[in-house]
């Protein structure tokens, strides 16, 4: 039976741990010159409605490095742009490909592809969730901290798809997660409630970034205006005043705290250039790890 990765809730805690361990293993093996080819003869399709740098290249590179091939498909260049039903496109692509990686707007879109495609479907970002990014972020935390258990993780900024996915991770893994979001920019209420009541999890939400960052072992942020929020930059800049992850804010965290950002970064807005380029930033490692995690995901899903 095929598996899909539409949200982190499609995974158990044990499966998340296995993916992290395997991604780290694949990374080490690659550094040692060991070439793994589990995708030999397989083809991965990337169907994207939204612009992408890291997610697109990481999945394409992962497929190729595992011995497979990849095909990038811009949705606007397909018959979808002429109102072909998703069900029709999904069934056809499912006959051509061995996996389908989708980056789009509505979560329902990836759910529809998963329903009709005979091959695994991976959510490479929707307006609601970004599960593959969170897996790469957890991998990065494990690399630099040894584990994610027992750590205090902080999220500072918009209650967007990243914040939603961190809430999913907290609920599944029993994480301590402190979020700071301005009024009007909170994450989804249902996900927040579920995470706050999940066994072993300790989740808090505040409008004070210093409160969220206090004692944190890892501080995570993202742009204030994600794709689809064009035209809201001025209003969001006003609402997010005081939410910049800079040296002053970071001083409230643990002295050994690291900083993550899924990129692209707007220096001087959600993060200062000093912090982004500073010794506590693991952002560039985090970006590279997207490829290794993509490889682990594809190896797991493509049989």
Per-residue model confidence as pLDDT tens for the chain (303 residues): 899 999 999 999 999 999 999 999 999 999 999 999 999 999 999 999 999 999 999 999 999 999 999 999 999 999 988 999 999 999 999 999 999 999 999 999 999 999 999 999 999 999 999 999 999 999 999 999 999 999 999 999 999 999 999 999 999 999 999 999 999 999 999 999 999 999 999 999 999 999 999 999 999 999 998 766 667 788 899 999 999 999 999 999 999 999 999 999 999 999 999 999 999 999 999 999 999 999 999 999 998
**Tokens (6 digits) for 299:** 């190896």
Q: Decide whether 8-129+290-301 matches 133-286 in CATH topology.
A: yes
The CATH code for residues 8-129+290-301 is: 3.40.50.1370
Q: Spell out the CATH class of 133-286.
A: alpha beta
The C-alpha atoms of residue 128 and residue 160 are separated, in whole angstroms, by 7
| Inter-residue contact 250 to 259 (CB < 8 Å) | yes
Give the residue among 141, 143, 105, 102 at the shortest CA–CA distance from 123: 102
- Cβ atoms 182, 235 nearer than 8 A: no
* Torsion sign (Cα): 25, 26, 27, 33: positive
Phi, psi of 35 (to 5 degrees): -100, 120
Residue by residue, DSSP assigns 97-166 as: -SEEEEE-S-HHHHHHHHHH-SS-EEE---SS--HHHHHHHHHHHHHHHS-STT-EEEEES--SHHHHHH
Every domain of the chain and the residues it spans: 8-129+290-301, 133-286
């Amino acid at each position: 039976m095929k598996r899909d990765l539409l949200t982190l809730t499609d995974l158990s805690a044990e499966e998340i741990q296995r993916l992290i361990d395997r991604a780290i293993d694949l990374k080490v093996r690659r550094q040692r010159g060991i070439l793994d080819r589990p995708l030999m003869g397989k083809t991965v399709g990337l169907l994207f409605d939204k612009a992408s740098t890291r997610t697109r290249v990481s999945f394409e590179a992962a497929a190729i490095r595992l011995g497979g091939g990849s095909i990038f498909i811009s949705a606007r260049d397909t018959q979808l742009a002429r109102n072909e039903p998703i069900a029709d496109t999904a069934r056809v692509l499912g006959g051509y490909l061995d996996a389908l990686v989708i980056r789009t707007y509505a979560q329902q879109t990836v759910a529809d592809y998963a329903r009709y495609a005979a091959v695994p479907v991976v959510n490479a970002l929707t307006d609601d969730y970004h599960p593959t990014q969170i897996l790469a972020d957890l991998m990065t935390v494990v690399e630099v901290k040894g584990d994610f258990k027992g750590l205090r993780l902080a999220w500072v900024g918009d209650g967007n798809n990243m914040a939603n996915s961190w809430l999913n991770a907290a609920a599944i893994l029993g994480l301590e997660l402190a979020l700071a979001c301005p009024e009007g920019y909170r994450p989804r209420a249902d996900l927040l409630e579920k995470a706050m009541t999940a066994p072993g999890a300790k989740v808090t939400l505040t409008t004070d970034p210093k409160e969220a960052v206090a004692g944190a072992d890892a501080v995570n942020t993202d742009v204030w205006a994600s794709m689809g929020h064009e035209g809201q930059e001025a209003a969001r800049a006003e609402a997010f005043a005081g939410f910049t992850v800079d040296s002053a804010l970071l001083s409230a965290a643990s002295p050994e705290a690291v900083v993550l950002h899924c990129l692209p970064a707007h220096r001087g807005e959600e993060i200062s250039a000093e912090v982004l380029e500073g010794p506590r930033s693991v952002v560039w490692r985090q970006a590279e790890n997207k490829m290794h995690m993509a490889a682990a995901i594809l190896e797991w899903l493509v049989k």
